[in-house]
């Protein structure tokens, strides 16, 4: 469990399925996310897969609980893109309450500390739709580096939108201190 006064990151629990499924279905979140599990039962199955992936050493998924919220309002997943987690992709599911009062920034610091200091990742990549102004601005404030514009990389409304590829590199970026 990773904790600041504003937010707790902890492993997913089966009982998180309903609240996180609701988060994933909210129009504001769904607009910027790949389609999530379609039902609460499917979300429970996703949580079971996440536990297996963690046990196999190739996946880590945290529920994010803001201090003023009774249930998780976000999810941060680290997916290994190479054996031994040299390169990882960070996926985000962030509901409106998390964007307030520095909660997202706290959660990012926690999950990046886990990725670089506990898991030993050397490089973490994040893909965000160019239209997701709030998330892109938050990453920039945190010192995450924008490396590429990915053409037509994200399906949205029957078309494909560009994404930014952001990265953190161990030893180079403040959030990636080894």
| Residue numbers at the binding site for other proteins (CB under 8 A) | 34, 82-83, 86-87, 122-123, 125, 145, 147-153, 155, 160, 165, 167, 169-170, 172
Q: Nearer to other proteins by C-beta: 7 or 78?
A: 78
Q: Nearer to other proteins by C-beta: 137 or 172?
A: 172
**Residue located via tokens 């389609």:** 35
Rounded to a whole number of angstroms, the minimum distance from the CB of residue 35 to other proteins is 8
Question: Cα–Cα distance between 27 and 35 in angstroms, integer?
Answer: 11
Q: Nearer to other proteins by C-beta: 65 or 176?
A: 176
Question: Cα–Cα distance between 66 and 43 in angstroms, integer?
Answer: 21
Rounded to a whole number of angstroms, the minimum distance from the CB of residue 91 to other proteins is 10
| Cβ atoms of 94 and 42 closer than 8 Å | no
Rounded to a whole number of angstroms, the minimum distance from the CB of residue 108 to other proteins is 18
Torsion, Cα of 27, 31, 36, 37 (10° steps): 30
Question: Cα–Cα distance between 137 and 15 in angstroms, integer?
Answer: 32
């Amino acid at each position: 469990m990773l904790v600041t006064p504003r937010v707790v990151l902890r492993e997913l629990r089966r009982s998180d399925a309903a609240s996180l499924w609701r988060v994933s279905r909210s129009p504001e979140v769904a607009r910027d996310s790949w389609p999530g599990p379609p039902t609460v039962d499917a979300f429970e199955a996703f949580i079971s897969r996440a536990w297996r992936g963690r046990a196999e050493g190739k996946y880590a998924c945290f529920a994010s609980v803001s201090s003023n919220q009774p249930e998780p309002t976000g999810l941060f997943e680290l997916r290994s893109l190479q054996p031994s987690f040299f390169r990882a992709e960070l996926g985000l599911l962030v509901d409106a309450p998390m964007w307030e009062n520095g909660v997202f920034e706290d959660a990012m610091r926690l999950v990046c500390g886990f990725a670089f200091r506990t898991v030993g990742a050397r490089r973490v990549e994040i893909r965000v739709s160019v239209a997701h102004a709030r998330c892109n601005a938050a990453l920039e404030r945190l010192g995450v580096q924008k490396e590429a514009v990915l053409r037509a990389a994200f399906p949205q409304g029957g078309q494909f939108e560009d994404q930014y590829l952001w990265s953190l590199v161990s030893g180079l970026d403040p959030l990636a201190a080894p």
